[in-house]
Amino acid sequence: MRHVVLVSCLLCAPSFALSQSRVTPSDSLSKVERTVAAHAASQSADALALLERLVNVNSGTQNLAGVREVGRMLRAEYDALGFTTRWEDGAAFGRAGHLVAERTGVGPRVLLIGHLDTVFETDSPFQRWERLTDSTAKGPGSTDMKGGDVVMLYALKALQASGQLGRMSITVVLNGDEESPGAPIAAARRVLIEAGARSQIALGFEDGDGDIRTAVAARRGFTGWTLRVTGTPAHSSQIFRADIGPGAIYEAARILNEFRVQLGGDPLRTFNAGVALGGTTITSDSTGTRGTAFGKSNVIPEHFIVSGDLRVISAEALASAKSTMSAIVATPTPHTTATLTFDDGYPPMAPTVGNTALLAQFDRASRNLGFGEVGMDNPARAGAADVSFIASTVPQVIDGLGPGGTGGHTVNETLQTRTLAVQIARTAVLLNRITRAAVVP
Ligand SMILES: [Zn+2]
C-alpha cells in the first residue's frame, strides 16, 4: 500500500480519494510504474502552465495562423522529446493542417490522437485563460482539447524521464480541423487514417463526457440524409383521388412516420429530421440548412424536401438502417415520387472486444494508482470524434482520456485542473503496460 499513498500525496488530488480496498499486492504498480507516476505528478504545475499558454493562442478552426502557432508550440515539445515531427499542410482541404510526431522502438505501435483547433474563432468573446478557483479554470480549448493534448504530452514526458520512452513505437497525430473538418474529408483525414493502418492500439484524448470516471470504448457515427418527394399538383378539392394522389407533403409525412415505426425504439439508433420545406415551389441553399417555400392551401403541393441525420453504433447497424429507409422510400404512393440520399460523416466506433479489453487496462491502471474505477461512457451520449476514423482498422481503441470539465463548446468551458495530473498518470502507466505486451482481450 505504501506506493499508493506516495502517489496520492504527490498528486495532491484530495477529490480523487484512494480506493485502497481495491488495490491488492498482486494487482498494483511495479517499481518502474511508481517512478513513472512520480515523474507525472512532479510535472503537473508545468503541464498546467503550458496549457494556459496554449489556451491563450486563439486556434479557432478558421484561424489558420493560430492553429499553426499552436502546432508550432507543441512541435517544439515533441522535438525536445526526440520525436521526428512534421507539419502536414492543409491547403488541399482548406484548413491549416496537422502536426505529426513519430518515434520508433519495439513492441506494438500506438497512435495518440488529439486536435489543435477549437470552436472559438477570433470573433468569439471567449479568448483567454482565467483561473476561477484553486481547482477550476476557464478557457477556450481548456478541456476540448488542448487539455487532452497536454495530458498526452506529459504522459510521454513522464515515460522519458523514467527511461521508458525509448522502447516505444508511438505516432502522435494532432489534427488542425477536428471541430470543422476540411473537405474532401478523405484528404482531411488521410494522415490519421494512414497512421491508423500502421497501429495496433489507439488512444484519443478528447474530454469525452467531461467525467474522468468514464472513458469511451464505443461511440456512434453520423450520416446525413436528404429525402425529396414530389406529388401531382391539382386543385386541393381533388386530393387523394385515385388519379391524383396525396401530394408531396402527405407522402413525405407518411414516409417519415414509416421511418419512425420501423426504426424507432433503439436508443443507439436515432434518426432526426432536422429541417423541411414543402409547397408548390421550394428553394434550398447549397448547405441545405436554409431555403424558401411557396404554396397555397387550395393547391396540392408538388415538392417537399427534408434532411436529417442518422446515428448508429456499428457499420452493420448503419447498413441495416440505410437499407430499411431505402426500402420504405422505394415504394411510394401512386402519383408521387421519392428519392433518398445519404452523406456519410463520421463512421461509428463499434464496442469491440479489443476496445473493451483496452478500457479494462485503463481502469486497472487507474485503480492501481488509487484513482478509482473507470467505466464506459454511454455511447448514446458520446459525440463524434476523430478516433472514429480509425476505429474500424485499429484492433484496440479508446477515447476520452482528456481532463475533466464542463461547458464544452460554450463560453463557460471549464477545466477541473486537478484532473489533468490524474489523466497524465493514468495514461503514462497505461502506455508503460501496453507497450510491453499487446492487451489480450
Ligand atoms: Zn474535441
21-33 residue pLDDT tens: 344 444 699 999 9
Task: Write down the domain spans for the chain.
Answer: 2-219+348-434, 223-344
Q: How far is the CA of 115 from the centre of ligand 1 (A)?
A: 7
Task: Return the higher-pLDDT residue of 329 and 438.
Answer: 329
* Domain 223-344 CATH class label: alpha beta
pLDDT at 437: 63
Residue 10 has pLDDT above 80, yes or no: no
Task: Return the higher-pLDDT residue of 106 and 323.
Answer: 323
Q: How far is the CA of 401 from the centre of ligand 1 (A)?
A: 11
Mean pLDDT, range 251-280, rounded to an integer? 97
pLDDT at 250: 98
Q: How far is the CA of 144 from the centre of ligand 1 (A)?
A: 4
pLDDT at 107: 87
Q: How far is the CA of 317 from the centre of ligand 1 (A)?
A: 25
Peptide bond into 145 cis (omega under 30): yes
Mean pLDDT, range 367-383, rounded to an integer? 90
Q: How far is the CA of 173 from the centre of ligand 1 (A)?
A: 13
Share of the chain above pLDDT 70, in %: 92
- Residue for grid cell 425529396: 228
Q: How far is the CA of 147 from the centre of ligand 1 (A)?
A: 10
φ/ψ (deg, to 5) at 438: -60, 145
Task: Return the higher-pLDDT residue of 285 and 140.
Answer: 140
What CATH number does the domain located at 2-219+348-434 have? 3.40.630.10
φ/ψ (deg, to 5) at 121: -80, 180
pTM, two decimals, is 0.84
For 151-165, 198-212, 427-441, which range has the lowest pLDDT when averaged over its residues?
427-441
Q: How far is the CA of 302 from the centre of ligand 1 (A)?
A: 42
pLDDT at 428: 98
Q: How far is the CA of 205 from the centre of ligand 1 (A)?
A: 8
Mean confidence (pLDDT) of the chain: 92
Q: How far is the CA of 61 from the centre of ligand 1 (A)?
A: 11
Mean pLDDT, range 371-376, rounded to an integer? 97
Q: How far apart are CA 282 and CA 205, in angstroms?
A: 44
Q: How far is the CA of 70 from the centre of ligand 1 (A)?
A: 15
CA distances from residue 114 to 93, 98, 143, 202, 378 in whole angstroms, order as listed: 18, 10, 12, 11, 21
Q: How far is the CA of 234 from the centre of ligand 1 (A)?
A: 51
> Is residue 113 a contact partner of residue 173, using CB atoms and an 8 Å limit?
yes
Q: How far is the CA of 385 from the centre of ligand 1 (A)?
A: 7
Could you report the per-residue pLDDT of 148-178, keeping only the tens digit for each? Answer: 999 999 999 999 999 999 999 999 999 999 9
Residue 6 has pLDDT above 70, yes or no: no
Q: How far is the CA of 17 from the centre of ligand 1 (A)?
A: 28
Mean pLDDT, range 207-229, rounded to an integer? 95
At 380, the pLDDT band (50, 70, 90 cuts) reads confident
